[in-house]
Amino acid sequence: MAEPREFDEKSFTQDVIDTFAKCQNLRLKQIMTEVVMSLHELVRKLDLTMEEWEFAIDFLTRTGQISDSRRQEFILLSDTLGVSMLVDAINNRAPPGTTESTVLGPFFVPGPAARNGDNIDVGEKGGAPTFVDVVINDLDGNPISDAQVDVWHSDEEGFYDVQYGPDAGFARRARFTAGADGRVYFWSSLPAKYPIPDDGPVGQMLGAVGRHPWRPAHLHFMIEAAGYKKLVTHIFVRESEYLESDAVFGVKQSLVDEFPHQPAGVAPDGTVMENPYRSMTWDFRLPRLDQLPKAA
């Protein structure tokens, strides 16, 4: 009968890694090896106490317990630690001229179909009327017809529709299909700054380390077209607070827009506006899949 190995806290890490020897998935084996090495090194470096480790386990347990189909606390944790933005950057290396990406966020759900020109701001919590007029182009400026464009954003109180409970309907959320000119246009309302949900473990973490939970005002866009790199991004409102300290590190300078004030009159789609309104125009640029950098 084989004798158990003699425990040694310095060589113990290799003992754990050796247990992955029969793993047939080489990528999984690599990931698990690196996770164990990094985690063990962290424990040694911090001289971690049992109480601290138990607290960490409890924190992760509570993070899972508060998550459900309408709230994903682990996404919030990843976002607020900058992991989401780092993974996003690694997976979205693209040629110059490509519209920059940013994090998906925890509030995406497939929206109802909408037609160009529709007003997607239903309900009573909308901000200033806003006309959004965007075009989906390739890197040479040619329109990408039939691109699928998902849009979602908060109301003027900083809440998304899904935060109002399971019976809330879709509001400020839609899916469009670009026309032959690559254009998508619709009416909605000016989004507002808002705090990420901070009544759970992630909010407790932010408070403990002296950070705020706020995100600057923005519209989410997710754009897909056959043969092109999928784009997940935001367009931020320049006048908003927290552009320099977004709780999830999602702001990039190239994604900030003025959302200019427009006088009363006839809007670009022919709508007669009796009062001033806001507008946003944007030229999204997507690279073809064959234009993407080759993996190292």
273: its two tokens: 């506006």
The per-residue pLDDT for range 162-206, each reduced to its tens digit, is 888 777 778 899 999 999 999 999 999 999 999 998 999 999 999
Q: Rounded to two decimals, what is the model's pTM?
A: 0.90
Q: Is the pLDDT of residue 207 over 70?
A: yes
Pairing label, strands 277-286, 129-138:
parallel
Q: Quote the mean pLDDT of the chain.
A: 94
Per 3-state DSSP, the chain is made up of helix, strand and coil in percentages (nearest 5) of 25, 25, 50
Model confidence at 112, in pLDDT bands (50, 70, 90)?
confident
pLDDT digits (tens, 9 = 90+) for 240-292: 999 999 999 999 999 999 999 999 999 999 999 999 999 999 999 999 999 99
What residue ranges define each of the domains in the chain, with the CATH number in brackets?
A: 1-48 (no CATH), 73-291 (2.60.130.10)
As to burial, measured by CB atoms within 10 angstroms (0-12 exposed, 13-18 middle, 19+ buried), residue 81 is middle
Cβ-count burial 247-270 (b if 16+ within 10 Å, e if not): bbbbbbeebbeebeebeeeebeee
Segment 70-89 mean pLDDT: 93
Q: How confident is the model at residue 151 (pLDDT cuts 50, 70, 90)?
A: very high
Tens digits of residue pLDDT in 7-64 = 888 889 999 999 999 999 999 999 999 999 999 999 999 999 999 999 999 999 999 9
Q: Which position has the higher pLDDT, 30 or 2?
A: 30
Q: List, as one string, the DSSP characters of 182-219.
A: -EEEEEEE----EEPP-SSHHHHHHHHTT---EE--EE
Phi, psi of 162 (to 5 degrees): -65, -15
Which residue matches tokens 């989906």? Answer: 136
